[in-house]
Structure 1
């Protein structure tokens, strides 16, 4: 298991940093490639869709989890 690693992102024209474990960063990169998008684009979508009481890092982890869970269930 890896410790969270901080990466800089641009969301809505603003720079921010998010700390996620390597497996989540890898998952986000894989999803980005599948969708033909960049990580910043996906992060912007996640940010826009999240409940404001949910932190961005948590929302990103849940996004990756849901993506692979849905795939495993054939959705």
Structure 2
């Protein structure tokens, strides 16, 4: 069962933005940032810079999925 997305604020290069992700994705995103020794804002900037014309929330979800697949 998937839960409703939660909106959280992030700061990307000095600009505030909000991103809506399901709690499971927030948990995985925060865990990945900690494992990499980064703040979630820092990791979000990296994803943002490589996302092209895809929305940030979608880019984060795909990034998490690819990371999990590579860990498997």
Report the TM-score, using the length of structure 2 for normalisation. 0.96
Alignment of 1:1-75 (within 5 A): 1-51=2-52, 53-72=53-72
Deviation, 1:12, is 1.1
Deviation, 1:32, is 0.7
Distance 2:39 2:71 in 1: 20
* Displacement over 3 Å in runs of 4+: none
Distance 1:60 1:8 in 2: 14
RMSD: 0.6
Gaps of 5+ in 2: none
Deviation, 1:39, is 0.5
Deviation, 1:71, is 0.5
Distance 2:43 2:17 in 1: 14
Distance 1:22 1:65 in 2: 14
